[in-house]
Amino acid sequence: MTLPLEGFKNALYVNTGTYAVPVWTEIDLARDVKFTKNKEQIDATSRQSARTGWKASLGGLKDWACEFESLIPAAGETPNPGFAALVAAYNNNTTVDILRVRGGLVTEVGGTLYAQRVECHVLGGDEGEPLNDVATLSVKLVNASTAPVEGTAGDGDFTPNP
């Protein structure tokens, strides 16, 4: 029997270094992370194909998105550099380098965990301040001009698939 992967065993990082020499900082306040990959549907129906009673379709452009809630640091707390990098990218209209790791941490020794690296724009979201719960910030990341790169993570590094 195949066991399911528990969501909390995954990790989400932002690069606080450079693209060439990344420093992967966990977005440790993230929770309820959701990834979306889509491909547009292009209508390729012609009169000839319509005569059969069926539409014809093609796959179009792809997109990638990540949405999550982040806990907001308490007053007087220094935000994690990952949280601060997301806020700075949003405020400055810049992109962030994101690493998604499934089933462990990028620092796993000898790890060959599934990972995706994506250059992203940070889109805004709602802030929640419920009376009987923690304050949260909704975050949405969408791929910038580059496609996600799949690979493996471990020993503090990301290795793209050949």
Asked if residue 108 belongs to a domain, the reply is yes
CA 140 distance to own-chain centroid: 8
What are 120's strand-pairing partners? Answer: 96, 143
Number of other CB atoms surrounding residue 112 within 10 Å: 13
Asked if residue 2 belongs to a domain, the reply is no
User: Given pLDDT bands bounded at 50, 70 and 90, which one contains residue 79?
Assistant: confident
How much is the CA Rg of the chain, to the nearest whole Å? 19
Query: Which has more pLDDT, 33 or 78?
Result: 33
Q: DSSP labels for 31-89?
A: EEEEEEEEEEEEE---HHHHTTT---EEEEEEEEEEEEEEEPPPTTPPPPHHHHHHHHH
Asked if residue 65 belongs to a domain, the reply is yes
Structural domain harbouring 124? 7-160
CATH number of residue 115's parent domain: 2.40.30
Alpha-carbon distance of 36 to 75, in angstroms, equals 33
Q: H or E element: which one contains 153?
A: strand 149-154
pLDDT (tens digit per residue) in 113-145: 899 999 999 998 889 999 999 999 899 999 998
Instruction: Find the mean pLDDT for residues 71-89.
Output: 86
Asked if residue 96 belongs to a domain, the reply is yes
Q: What value does the mean pLDDT of the chain take? A: 91
Given a cut of 80, whether residue 64 has pLDDT beyond it is yes
In terms of Cα–Cα distance, which of 25, 118, 32, 23 is closest to 71? Answer: 32
Q: Does residue 25 contact residue 14 with C-beta atoms inside 8 Å?
A: yes
Which pLDDT belongs to residue 89? 94
Which pLDDT belongs to residue 112? 78
Which pLDDT belongs to residue 110? 75
Number of domains forming the structure of the chain = 1
